[in-house]
Structure 1
Amino acid sequence: MMKLSTAVYNAAVVLRHATFVIGAKLLAGGTIVAFDDETQQLRVIREGSLLIEGDSISSVSDSIVPDTIPIGVEVINCTGNIITPGFVDTHRHGWQTVFKTLGSNTTLAEYLKRYSASVAQPLFTPDDVYISQLAGIYEALNAGVTTILDHAHHTWTREHAIAGLNASMDSGGRVFFAYTFQNSPDFSIQDQIMHWHELASTVPSGLTTLGIAYDGWIGDPQDPDTAAVVKLALESKVEALTTHDVEGPWSSSNNPELLHWLGILNSSIPIVISHASQISARGAELLRQTNQHISITPESEMHYGHLHPTSHLILDQASLGVDTHFTFSTDILTQARLWLQSTRSRLYKAAIDNWQIPANSPMSVNQAFLLATRNGGLALERPDLGVITPDTKADILIWDARSPGMLGWVDPISAVILHANVGDIKDVIVGGEFKKRDGKLVVEDYAGIQDRFLQSARRIQAKLKDIPLPVPEGRFMGGYPYAPVLEVDVQRGEGTGYGPIYV
């Protein structure tokens, strides 16, 4: 493998420099996982280079040193490493970070009664929201998530809403902050809409974008709250609108059919329907017709039990999300891996159940990689996110391809999707700026932020532990009945099974 020497680089600069660009960076000598717009396929460039000018990628070259290099460019030697776009997370609740490890065995019904926005408000001051959101975004950046669609349902008061927004802006991550409209005591949806307008006029342009989240699509276009949200979204041409859709026995139907009937789906607004766990054939067809997307959150949907029986049938209009990262992984890499293997398992089973031998693998690592990157950008109608091509945003990951887990790789996409872990991410660049470098977050006084976060977390966790766990009896929210699920045991004997919860 060719090494990039200082002498070679300096000679190249003398011959090839063009202009002086402050902050320009050259990622040189690595294997780049780029995207080819013409073939619509991933393009692997070995021993190539990537030039960043400002917040964007200005060139991607097949050679270690491109033809044109600005004077004063910073050279990052990537020889032997893998360069990929950052991961795009299209569903997360950053404010919940302080609940870490409390929900390790919780079901969705328990979550709704214990950790959801509708019950958590008394536990949080605005400062708690701020530090929890900030720490959660740093956690995501460290794991290579460079873009987040944050379903911010901590908008109980003006102060709580502003706290989460400020944390998003201060984080340095690329955040689509979806302000949630929900009736709260002394802060109605109509009040929240007025507040949203105020924020929209004051939020500076940058990495944080103000969006909308709403779960109240009740099927009545004359409902004043729903009508007001639709009017706001259409008139403001909001850059992202998101909603939860969990159907089946859960009966939380914010589905494509309903949004289409209300006149919002077939618009120029990017709409992301989170989970869409039991999406119908009609709903899938509407997404294709309107070019709208769902966010599959594989670990969340397995963990809580709402599952995803039909999501594999609409992957052409799908992206990946994390959801409630306080209960499990914070990274999109894990979601891509889980989704790839669970989809393979589901489709293999169809053959095995008919006593047939699978003749092919039903899903490739390339498809999993695209779900984790490019598809997230497309869901947000941002083709400049989640790909490495000229004139796209410089949201980049540099992987240590000599790590113990990746050593010996040939296919860089397989190396990332099936063999890497988030600890192999050496550098994270968002908008052309390092957010993680040489394995460490680039955050001023991160230790102080950690201490401040732990103070909030310990206080909130203590309050929460004093609240008895909900007992699932009768029917879920007056609808379908609860049912016991078979519990497995990894030990022999009576009383050895589930065990205590260590909180």
Structure 2
Amino acid sequence: MWTRQLLKVTLFWARLGFISASASASTSPSSILFEGGTIIAFNRTTEALEVIRNGSLLVTGDRIAGIFSAGASLPPLSARTERVDVTGKIISPGFVDTHRHGWQTGLKTLASNTSLVEYYSRYSEYAAAGVLTPDDVYIGQLAGLYESLNAGVTTTLDHAHHTWSNATAEAGLRASIHSTARVFWAYTFHNVSGFEIPEQLGNFRDIATKASFRGSATSLGIAYDDFGRNPNAAEVRSIIDLAEEFNVSVITTHSVQGLWGLDNAPEDFEALGILNSSIPIVFSHASYLTPVGAQLLRANNQYISITPESEMHYGHTHPESRLIQDQASLGVDTHLTFSTDLLTQARLWLQVTRRQLYAHVLNDWRVPANNPMSAYQAFMLATRHGGLALRRGHELGILAAGAKADLVVWDAATSPALLGWIDPVAAIILHASVADIEHVLVDGVFRKRDFRLTNPEYYTAIQDRLRASAARIRKVFVDRPLPVVSGTYGGTGNGTGGFEYSPALTVDTLRGPGNGYGDVFWT
């Protein structure tokens, strides 16, 4: 009994990074063969999806060694090859989330009805600095990434704006590494109280030099939100110099133009001479993108991240995003406020786009003769396009020989939601849910198996720590008074403000007095 308990404790601390992982690692098969499933493969020649029915997919190490049609001869298999029967099931690439703030997991349900103005002053990194400890950041980031893995997200671009101290920055990075998800961890440079950009530059250099992420599925990126109008040229140059010196995996920025004033538009990057970079740049939201900005994205092969639920929830919307879907990917954003899975984002975006384009015809009193966006396109945005946005399109977001073995197995054989399917892409985008995800692999290793995250004892400990962290954080935020929103909006960063506030119309769900808006249940 004591031996078993000691083994559990050893495994737990090894996975947190305090004991050498090799001391606790069990022998894994040299390869895994998934047999008899429907595979949503990618044809590199046609640059299109190719459905292989009753096929097999061979994983060797961290790569897809081959995809085989029914009846095709398989290569010689090692005696240690594990064979997994996936008859009647669907194998898809893992989802790629190109915009997320993982550390906010412990704030869930506090901001269910919040506006963007309230978010800035109440729940953003500026409001959280000094409230969340390094341990709060660590466990929030770790739990959030496990939640993503459970939902089939194998790659995440994390706009890591929990960098308000050396300790909180390193806690978020450590959690990303320990999650075993593929994380593009983008260190955020921002002038937070008590820890401003000059100090952050030193912290980043220390992190990049130590390179604790080396050998893991986590890589180092940079996030910065003041590339917009009237930038601090010296500050921008120092950040770009660091990006180039350490050849970071990505640069990302919030681009919310219009009245919001958080520009960071492609035009701003072009003016600074950094848009045509060998480093991928991801423009999160790109709300109110201009035609010129769209042309610049195409000319320089840079991408935006559309976060449908976020952009509807907060009101910065996405009026032009449908016009630049050839250079677009999908993200989740602030998962404390809404759905955390990319499947929901893909489904919402598909139907929002359909509605917008139908309206163009209907508003002219004509009847739409066709459906303006396909499930296939939504699937590609959630998978293939995420890999392209990160300049890793040859190996991420696709199932093809030589690609990373980041994949999802969907229970299309017995799930009540999927009975009767024929098109696997439509089955996932329009009918499936997170509950249908049976297996998730990252780098050829099961991270979810048989509908459960692997290492259940470890995850139970994470849950307990997250509950304790959330309870402490919640007390601070619940007691914090709501912001007074009146006068004019002051803008953000180097953008413009000065626009008057105005109440939005609210819906009425009650007859008679009141409208049924209801309360929030914090006590």
Bin the TM-score by the shorter chain. Answer: over 0.9
| Residues in 2 aligned to 1:196 and 1:413: alpha-carbon distance in whole angstroms | 41
Match of 2:509?
Answer: 490
In structure 2, relative to structure 1, the CA distance for the partners of 1:64 and 1:372 (3 Å cut) is: farther
Asked if 1:391 is matched to 2:415, the reply is: no
2:186 touches 2:252 (CA, 8 Å); kept in 1?
yes
Match of 2:161 among 153, 159, 166: 153
| Residues in 2 aligned to 1:395 and 1:364: alpha-carbon distance in whole angstroms | 24
Q: Structure 1: state its 5+ residue gaps.
A: 1-20
Residues 84-483 of structure 1: matches in 2 within 5 Å? 84-202=92-210, 203=212, 204-220=214-230, 223-383=233-393, 384-401=395-412, 402-443=414-455, 444-477=457-490, 478-483=497-502
CA deviation map 1:256-282 (0-9, x unaligned): 000111111111110000000110000
State the SS of the aligned residue for 2:170.
Answer: helix
Asked if 1:75 is matched to 2:83, the reply is: yes
CA deviation map 1:347-383 (0-9, x unaligned): 0000000011111111111100000000000000001
Match of 1:16?
Answer: none
| Residues in 2 aligned to 1:415 and 1:495: alpha-carbon distance in whole angstroms | 42
2:186 touches 2:220 (CA, 8 Å); kept in 1?
yes
| Residues in 1 aligned to 2:112 and 2:371: alpha-carbon distance in whole angstroms | 32
State the SS of the aligned residue for 2:270.
Answer: helix
CA deviation map 1:66-111 (0-9, x unaligned): 4214212101100010000000000000000111011111111110
| Residues in 2 aligned to 1:185 and 1:483: alpha-carbon distance in whole angstroms | 30
Aligned-residue offset at 1:154: 0.6
2:152 touches 2:434 (CA, 8 Å); kept in 1?
yes
1:396 touches 1:429 (CA, 8 Å); kept in 2?
yes
| Residues in 1 aligned to 2:142 and 2:117: alpha-carbon distance in whole angstroms | 27
In structure 2, relative to structure 1, the CA distance for the partners of 1:496 and 1:186 (3 Å cut) is: closer
| Residues in 2 aligned to 1:185 and 1:114: alpha-carbon distance in whole angstroms | 15
Aligned-residue offset at 1:222: 6.0
Match of 1:30?
Answer: 37
| Residues in 1 aligned to 2:449 and 2:228: alpha-carbon distance in whole angstroms | 47
Match of 2:8?
Answer: none
| Residues in 2 aligned to 1:236 and 1:133: alpha-carbon distance in whole angstroms | 24
| Residues in 2 aligned to 1:150 and 1:326: alpha-carbon distance in whole angstroms | 14
2:35 touches 2:85 (CA, 8 Å); kept in 1?
yes
Which sits farther off after the overlay, 223-232 or 88-97? Answer: 223-232
Aligned-residue offset at 1:249: 0.7
| Residues in 1 aligned to 2:73 and 2:124: alpha-carbon distance in whole angstroms | 51
State the one-letter code of the partner of 1:104. S
CA deviation map 1:134-168 (0-9, x unaligned): 00000110011100000000101100000000000
Which sits farther off after the overlay, 81-90 or 483-492? Answer: 483-492
| Residues in 1 aligned to 2:71 and 2:129: alpha-carbon distance in whole angstroms | 53
Q: Structure 2: state its 5+ residue gaps.
A: 1-27, 491-496
Aligned-residue offset at 1:317: 0.3
| Residues in 1 aligned to 2:423 and 2:36: alpha-carbon distance in whole angstroms | 16
Aligned-residue offset at 1:224: 1.9
Aligned-residue offset at 1:221: 6.4
| Residues in 2 aligned to 1:411 and 1:30: alpha-carbon distance in whole angstroms | 13
1:29 touches 1:64 (CA, 8 Å); kept in 2?
no
| Residues in 1 aligned to 2:91 and 2:233: alpha-carbon distance in whole angstroms | 49
Which sits farther off after the overlay, 343-352 or 226-235? Answer: 226-235
* Identity across matched positions, percent: 55
State the SS of the aligned residue for 1:273.
Answer: strand
2:180 touches 2:216 (CA, 8 Å); kept in 1?
no
| Residues in 2 aligned to 1:420 and 1:235: alpha-carbon distance in whole angstroms | 44
2:282 touches 2:305 (CA, 8 Å); kept in 1?
yes
2:129 touches 2:192 (CA, 8 Å); kept in 1?
no
| Residues in 1 aligned to 2:258 and 2:66: alpha-carbon distance in whole angstroms | 48
2:29 touches 2:82 (CA, 8 Å); kept in 1?
no
RMSD: 1.3
State the SS of the aligned residue for 2:499.
Answer: coil
| Residues in 2 aligned to 1:188 and 1:100: alpha-carbon distance in whole angstroms | 27
1:33 touches 1:42 (CA, 8 Å); kept in 2?
yes
| Residues in 1 aligned to 2:138 and 2:370: alpha-carbon distance in whole angstroms | 48
Aligned-residue offset at 1:192: 1.5
Aligned-residue offset at 1:321: 0.2
